[in-house]
Structures are given as C-alpha cells and as structure tokens.
Structure 1
Amino acid sequence: MPKQQDVGVRIASFYELTNAHCPLALDSYQRAYVWGEKKIVQLLTDFQQFIEAQATQNKNSYPPTHYYMGSILLHKHSGADGISCFVIDGQQRLTSLAIMYWLLKNELPNHIQFCFRSPRSMVNIKKAKQTMLALLEKNALSVKIFDVLRFTVITVMREDLAFTFFDTQNNRGVPLGGTDLLKAFHLRAIHSDKINLVEQLQSHCARRWEQVQTQGRLGQSNLGNDFAPELFHYYLWRSRNWTGTDVVELESLDELLIHFGDRSAEAEIGEVVLYPASNNQWGKQLRLTANNDYMLQPSTFNIGNSAAYLPFALRQPISRGVGFFLYAEKYSALLNLLLNSQSPDPEVRAMQVFYEQVVTKLSAYLQSLYRLALLAYFDRLGSKGLLSFALWLNHRFGAIRLRQADIRRETPLKFLRDAKRNLLDVIAFAYRGEDVIQYLKQVDVSKAYADKNGWLNEIVSGRLVQERYAAALAKYYNVEALTSIDKRIDDTVEIKLAEQGGKHD
C-alpha cells in the first residue's frame, strides 16, 4: 500500500499541469510520437463540436465550462539536472496539444519540454502539424480553447508506483506495455560514471529499439504499429520457454519482465557476452592430412551492417543493457529477412513463395508456430535445407488442417507437448537440417492426404477453409489429388530451387 505522500491527485488546467521549475519531460523509455491523421482529426473535431455546443447554450460568451482531457500520470524525479516531471501516461495527447499551441500562438508552452530522439517522431510531428494547419484554417478554434482544458493529474514520487497506477484503459493515448517497461529497464542498466558514454549508448540503443518497433508487415506499412510486443510474445518468449512438455501460453506481464529483465546477465557497459552458436564458431571443417596433422578450416563471417547476422542464439543468456537491444534487433531483423524482404538467397526466396502460396492458407494458430519454427531453424542451421524443412513442416501441419475443420489455440501447443520430443528442442540441438527433417518424417500422416480420394472434389470446390488449403497445396505441387504427396516433396524442392537459381544439396 503506497504512503499518502507518495501519490498526489488533483484537477488542473493546461497551464497548471506544472511549472518552469518542474517542467514536463519524457524519460528515456517512452515510445515515439505515433498519433496519425485519424487521431488528430478526432481531437480537433471534438474541440470544435464542444465550442459549437457551448455557443448554442450561451451565445454571449466563449465556452465557460470545462473540456475534460482525461488523466495524466506523472513521475516526479530529482536528478543531477534538477527536478523533472516525467510523463508516464499522456505523452501523445500533450505532444498534440503542444503542436496545436504552437500553431495558434507561434510559441511552445514553456512547461512542456519534450525531447524526441527518433526520426519516426519527427516525421509524425510534421504530419500532425500539417493536418492541424489545414483544419485550423476551416474552423473557429483559437488559443482560448486551452483555458478550458482540464486534466486529472496523478503525481507519484516512486517509479514503481507510476507503473502500478498506469491506466491501460486509456484509448486516446498509447499505453505502455511490457516491452516498453523492458526498454526502460535495460536503458537504465546502461550506467557508468562516464556520462557522455552513457548518453551515447542510450541514444544508440533507443534508435535500435525504434528499428525493432517498425519491423513486421504492419510496422512497415503503418507507422503507428509497434512490432516489439509481437516479437517478444510470439517469438522470443516462446522459443526460450516452450521446452520439453512445458508448453503453455504466457500468462502475465510479470513473466515477460522477469524472464527478459530480472534474469538477464549483468555486463560491463557497452559489452555483450557471446556464447557458442551456429554463427559463432571458430572452425568450419577439420581435416587429417597425409602427414598425420590436423588442418582446421576456419569459419568466415561477414556480418556487414545487418543485425540479422549478429552471433547470438535464441536460447542464450541475454546480457543486460546493450546486449538486450542488440538481441532484440537481431531477431526482428532476422524475421524481416525471412518473411518480409527480398532475399539474395535462393533457399529463402523459394521458402517465401511457398509460405505465401500455401502456408497462409493454414489457420492463424498453425501459421504462428510455423513462423516460430522457421526462425528457430534459420537461427540454428542457416538457410541450408530451409525449403525442404519448410515443405516437410507444412506436411505435418497440413495433416492437422485437413483432419480438423476447427483449429483452436491449444492445437499447436498440443503438437509440441504431445510429441516424444518437442520440435523446438529438436531444432535447438540439431547439427544438420537432415536431423530435423528425419524427425518430421517419423510420424506418418499420409492418410490425412489420402482421405476423400485425395481431396479431389474439395480441391475443385475450394470454398471451405480445408478445401482452400487443399487447393493451394495441389496447385503448388501441380497435382490433381493429394494422395502420396509426400513422395513429391524432395523432387519439388529441387524444381523450386532451380526456379530461384539455386540447387538442392
């Protein structure tokens, strides 16, 4: 139970939010400004409707009643640079109001001193300004609107209370989630008495985090989308925790924070501990010569400027601070390379074609596990044998699709949990792609494909979910029926790789 003096609650006008001695600021973990045109238009439309409604009620005066803007959550912080009030909840609204204030008064409110590091924020602020400018030219809004704005201001003295009081139901702003708190945790872990180094590394890591947030298909097409929660929930947490028969969904935010925060390994500032991994091994091949000597052929590495090839492994310990950001950046970039980018690698290109033509016809739950398995395979074994793995994995998942009209959330969990060996464990300990493919072949699922006369009529129909999947598979393999389709997989791999300018090893 927090002490009374740790929390303050008051109603304040826009000008009473704080003062110049304790300006409103943003802490390092706060995300970018992401409000788009829709939210800006809604805000100014709400203001205009409020003014019109008040004018109808009282034609002799400017709206005398108050316009309530919701709650603002502040963390009062004392630091080397003085006292600041960090905005925990309300950043998006206050930034938008500051832009509007500048357009109406040609100056910024002196009690709002937000500093944005990301280019993404700069782009969105510029767009918001243009949208507001066009709207302000058409309506009767003036700077007097700020006189009637009212907020419920919750001020806390301890940061842990800030997140306890955080209102995740605020649909006008962008609430902080687990990944935002992880970002805050690891930015704070970058500390030293070398202030310049700390600031530079924190700035670099914040920018890398912005890159993580904009990955994924939605992140690339929608600046308001944040890929980080999807990355950590559906890929990183699952790949590290779905082991053996212990395959359960993430149940709480605390689990995420403990696993990627509290359990991270302390490291020197700027340093990342490396562990044995497929892309972090010294030797590639060992030869015994005619002179009875050992000859070791060293591995060659060319990381270049792509984070996708950083020498990490999915299940390795995570170094606190810089290591966390590089780890997240690697796997967001790797997923992008596998699923969203044009690759120079024939194996990856051929897999992408198969994914789009066939795998997207599986249920969303099976697709999610499929993508996770692709990431785990590529992380462990690279692209060699990737298309063969993709086709055999689909062979197993496709049998589930054909047998079950209703695929539930529990279905992929049962696939991992009920097997003698967990597929993700098999991949994690594999030395060759053939080892994983042999594991997939161990269960004979040919009957699922032979049923209904090889799904002959259903392929022609292609209406229901199972029929659409069967039709997509038949088209890919260029067959009329799915009977004995497993006999065509290896030949199809060679054909499809040849189409992409590669060959099957």
Structure 2
Amino acid sequence: MIKIDVESQKQVNVDEELFLEVGTLSTSDFFETDVSVKLPDYQRPYVWNEEKLKQLLKDVKDHFFYDGDYNENAQHYYLGCVLLYKKNEIEFEIIDGQQRITSLLILDYVCNETQSYLAQDKWNLEYSSMLSTTVIKHNLKYLTENVSSGIKNHLKNIFSKLVFTVIKTNSEDEAFTFFDSQNSRGVSLSAVDFLKSYHLRELKGNEDLQRRFAKQWDSNNKGQFLSELFDFILWRSRSWKGQNLSFENKDAILKDFQKKTIKELNNDLIRLYPNVCNTLANQLMYDSKLGVCLQPSVLNLQTTASQYPFSIRQPIQKGIGFFLYTEKYFAVYNQLFNDKKFKSFIEVYNKLITQNSYYLKIFFKLASVVYYDKFKDQKLQEFALWMDYLLGSYRIYQRTIVTQTVIKILRDKSQNLLDVIEMSYRPDDVFDFIRLITDKSHYNVDLASDPDYGVRNNYKNANLSFYQKEENSELITKEKWVYEYIEKK
C-alpha cells in the first residue's frame, strides 16, 4: 500500500519497487532542482499560442499587481499539476506540464536573460518536433514585445509564489494513469493526443521505435490533421454500420482506437486479415531499419505506407499495429486528394464536390477512402461521378444541408452505403446501389426563385460547366450526362 504525505513532500511507507510522491513546489524551487528533467520523444509538440500567453500574463498581472504596483502580500497562485516519471536516480521525464513549464522558461529568459535558468544551463529541454522549435521562437518574440516592466522587475518574487502540485512516480503506467485523467490548465488534450501517448506506451523499452513513430505522427498531424482523419474518416468508416448510427465524440474515438485495440503475445508481429492489399501474408514484422516486411513463410516484401496490408474495419493491434494503421490511411487520404496519378478523380472533387455542402464534402471523402480501401483505383473516377450524382440530389432538393443529412443517406435506405461498398465484389455493384438509392426526381426542382448566387444555383452551374451543357439544360437528365461522360472517357 502506498501512502502520500503532501505536507512534507516526502514519500512514506513506499514499496521497494514502486513509489508515488506528491508535493507542492514553487516555480523557483522546481526550476532549481538538481536532477535532470527531460521530455520523452513521444511527447506532443509545444503548442501554446499567443492567446494562452496573453492569458498567462493577464493572470499574473491581476493576481500580483494592484493599480500597477507589485503587491507584496499577494497569495500563492496555483498552476496545476506536473507529472514526472522517474527513469533512474537522477533523470525524470515530463509526462504532463510541458506547455506551462516551457512557457515559464521562455518568460524567465525574456525577463532575466543571462541570469535566467536557460542561460545558466540549469534547464536544457530538447524538443524533437520542428513545430516546437517554431512555436518557441514565435513565443519568445511575443513575450519580448509584451511583458510589462513590472513583471520583469518582480519575476523572482512572482516565481516564488507560482506553485505546482508535483507528482513523481517510478512507474510509467502509474504516471500515465494520472495523465489520462488530468485536466490541467494547459491546452486541452484531444483524442489523438491521448491515442499517441497510449500506443507509444506499448513500445516502452524500445526508444528507437518510440522516436520513429512519434516523429512520423507529429509530421502527419500538422494543422491537427489527424483529428480530422480519425473524426471524419476512420471512426465513421468503422462505426457507421447498419442503420444504428450516431456522431463521433472524444470518448467514442478513444473507445474504438484505444480500449478496443488488441494485444498479442508478440506485439512485434502484426496479424493481417485478407483484403485487396493482401492476398498473400498472414502477418507482418516492423523493422526500424528495413520498415514493413510481409512474412508468408520465407518471403519478405517491403512496401510503402499506402500499400500496407490493412483494411479499414479490421481489428487494430496496440502499439506498432496502431501506428502503421494510422500511417496507411494518412497516406491513402493524401494520395486520393493530392496525387497527380488520380487527376481525373480530383477533377470531379474540385469541380463538383467542392460546390456542395461542407457535410456532403466530408461524406464524399469518407466514402472515397472506404471505396479505395476495397477496390483501390478501379473505376475511381466513375465512383466519384456516381457519388456526386447521389449527393447532388440532396444539394438541389434541400435548401439547407445539416449534419443529420448524411445520417439520413445511410440510415433511411434499404442498406447502408458504406456496408455495401465493404461487401461488394465489383465496383459496378456499388454503382448500381448508388443509382438505386438516388431519387432522380430531386433534380426536378425549379431553382428560378433562388437568387443567382444561391448555393443550389452555384452547384447547378458547376454541373453545366463540367458536363458542357447548355445554360437552359435541366438537371433531371443528369444520370444520362454521367453515362455519356463515362463513355467518352
């Protein structure tokens, strides 16, 4: 049993193999520590923006100053928890608190320059992400221009009254248990932040793999893109089955990609399931130097991310399996919507789909990834045209497209379109179903009452231009236009 003595800030009655220490430290005492504090490679980048720094400066000013003068009698100000994992006797890793610690170190450097903790080499955090470096430089400039003379002159006293609750443990699992439940004053953690940390923990003991997957994850997550990938593509593709549909949320995403992931006896070997990318192997091995190798008996085949032999609805293995699965669908998404090889598909998207509602555009991307996962690039442009035929019928028929429109498309038909794609043997089976569920009468709507710049008229004009039809042509014959266009190609 572990007891915690908060007042004395010392561990009490601690098990020989596991300790948990909790105490309160001022920022000054924390930065004066004589142990080495580092950032693990799998930490997310430093991302505090100007809004966060502005709030920090405002909090300090409001709490420690009165009518512009420093208040000697100001009480201590609480900054939340810092979670530290003890790797060995002199080395700790920051599990949570990086955003605040980094910001305070920058503030100290701006105010104290050669006498700062950084200048004295008392703190030397290394940031593996280029994003962190960019943000640090930006925030250094911002604070240099915005820190008041009052804060500069009294920062030493302020730091003595800015306090953290510091939690230390030599159990990485214990540290992350706190981390998962902690809601600190820093940037609110998204589902993908939790997923990254959770699956990197499965690789503990192999720092090369942790570093490799953390670096690739941060590169793929520029602009928080992975949140969009998991929210709108991966979670929906796996969860929107049958007619019982709902929208994603943080808990649902964590349940599917964290709690539901599986652990094999040997996590270095990833179990495979038959799909269009894999008719040969039943497992793969990841090597940090060679990359992905398929291993059917004695045959080794190296492959690129978009060709990794996963299917979008398959079970996901913890650790390496999760990261490779994410890398595949990041690559597939970018290939579909950015690769010149798919020029004709992208042309349909740019000229027709982008003229549609935001919700229908997102649904088009989802369906396209699921289709590509099943059939690769077989009749890919034709799929785009028939999807536009279906989605366009809703754009023309309804003045307003809402979030529930996509749910209705899947739920209120004889079958769920995503299920049909998954179960079909040929692309033509998918196209037949799309034509079956498209109500062509929706295109027989008089748009004369809509303003010339209305979204429905904009979409109609985009169709007339794409299919090279006369201005007075009616969309009720659009199915015929699609057939004619495909025949020409």
CA distance in 2, matches of 1:13, 1:377: 56
CA 1:463–1:66: 2 relative to 1, 3 Å = farther
Does 2:350 correspond to 1:356? Answer: yes
**What amino acid is aligned across from residue 489 of structure 1 in structure 2?**
V
Does 2:269 correspond to 1:271? Answer: yes
CA distance in 2, matches of 1:265, 1:52: 51
Q: How does 1:32-71 map to 2 (within 5 A)?
A: 32-36=45-49, 42=54, 46=58, 57-58=68-69, 64=72, 71=79
The equivalent residue for 2:312 is 314
The equivalent residue for 1:344 is 340
**What amino acid is aligned across from residue 239 of structure 1 in structure 2?**
S
TM-score between both structures, scaled by the size of structure 1:
0.76
CA distance in 1, matches of 2:457, 2:202: 52
Match for residue 162 of structure 1 among 178, 197, 209: 178
Equivalent pair of 1:380/1:427 in contact (CA under 8 Å): yes
Q: How does 1:53-452 map to 2 (within 5 A)?
A: 57-58=68-69, 64=72, 71-82=79-90, 84=92, 86-88=94-96, 90-103=97-110, 104-106=112-114, 107-109=116-118, 112=123, 114-133=125-144, 142=152, 144-149=154-159, 150-156=161-167, 158-159=174-175, 162-163=178-179, 165-167=181-183, 170=185, 173-191=186-204, 195=205, 198-214=206-222, 219=223, 226-253=224-251, 255-267=252-264, 268-282=266-280, 303-304=303-304, 307-339=305-337, 341=338, 343-345=339-341, 348-452=342-446
CA distance in 1, matches of 2:87, 2:37: 14
Encode CA deviations 1:443-488: one digit per residue, 9 max, x unaligned: 3522111232xx4x368x4333323322322332233321211101
Q: How far off is 1:202 after superposition? A: 0.5
Equivalent pair of 1:118/1:207 in contact (CA under 8 Å): yes
* Other structure's SS at 1:421 match: coil
Q: How far off is 1:141 after superposition? A: 5.9
Equivalent pair of 2:396/2:445 in contact (CA under 8 Å): no
**What amino acid is aligned across from residue 395 of structure 1 in structure 2?**
Y
The equivalent residue for 2:290 is none
CA distance in 1, matches of 2:462, 2:76: 54
CA 1:328–1:48: 2 relative to 1, 3 Å = same
Equivalent pair of 1:239/1:376 in contact (CA under 8 Å): yes
* Other structure's SS at 1:75 match: strand
**What amino acid is aligned across from residue 248 of structure 1 in structure 2?**
S
CA distance in 1, matches of 2:195, 2:164: 25
**What amino acid is aligned across from residue 461 of structure 2 in structure 1?**
A
CA distance in 1, matches of 2:22, 2:328: 42
Equivalent pair of 1:22/1:85 in contact (CA under 8 Å): no
CA 1:163–1:362: 2 relative to 1, 3 Å = same
CA distance in 1, matches of 2:374, 2:244: 21
CA distance in 1, matches of 2:144, 2:163: 28
Q: How does 1:473-492 map to 2 (within 5 A)?
A: 473-479=463-469, 480=471, 481-492=474-485
CA distance in 2, matches of 1:67, 1:382: 63
Encode CA deviations 1:39-76: one digit per residue, 9 max, x unaligned: 55x3697499779965x554xxx663659876332224
**What amino acid is aligned across from residue 410 of structure 2 in structure 1?**
L
**What amino acid is aligned across from residue 483 of structure 1 in structure 2?**
I
CA 1:11–1:4: 2 relative to 1, 3 Å = closer
Q: How far off is 1:165 after superposition? A: 4.9
The equivalent residue for 2:16 is none
Q: How does 1:458-473 map to 2 (within 5 A)?
A: 461-473=451-463
Q: How far off is 1:243 after superposition? A: 1.3
CA 1:462–1:71: 2 relative to 1, 3 Å = farther
Equivalent pair of 1:201/1:270 in contact (CA under 8 Å): no
The equivalent residue for 1:297 is none
Equivalent pair of 1:26/1:86 in contact (CA under 8 Å): yes
TM-score between both structures, scaled by the size of structure 2:
0.78
- For these two proteins, the number of residue pairs brought into alignment is 442
CA distance in 2, matches of 1:154, 1:258: 29
**Which segment drifts farther, 462-471 or 18-27?**
18-27
**Which segment drifts farther, 226-235 or 115-124?**
115-124
CA distance in 2, matches of 1:130, 1:140: 18
Equivalent pair of 1:71/1:152 in contact (CA under 8 Å): yes
CA distance in 2, matches of 1:127, 1:302: 41
Encode CA deviations 1:194-223: one digit per residue, 9 max, x unaligned: x5xx01011001011112211xxxx2xxxx
Q: In angstroms, what is the RMSD of aligned CA positions?
A: 3.5
Q: How far off is 1:28 after superposition? A: 4.9
Equivalent pair of 1:105/1:143 in contact (CA under 8 Å): no
Equivalent pair of 2:190/2:250 in contact (CA under 8 Å): no
CA 1:418–1:401: 2 relative to 1, 3 Å = same
CA distance in 2, matches of 1:96, 1:414: 47
Equivalent pair of 1:462/1:471 in contact (CA under 8 Å): no
**What amino acid is aligned across from residue 128 of structure 1 in structure 2?**
N
Q: How far off is 1:153 after superposition? A: 2.4
**What amino acid is aligned across from residue 148 of structure 1 in structure 2?**
I
The equivalent residue for 1:15 is 28
Gaps of 5+ in 2: 7-19, 282-300
CA distance in 1, matches of 2:162, 2:60: 19
CA distance in 2, matches of 1:444, 1:124: 48
Equivalent pair of 2:467/2:481 in contact (CA under 8 Å): yes
**What amino acid is aligned across from residue 187 of structure 1 in structure 2?**
L
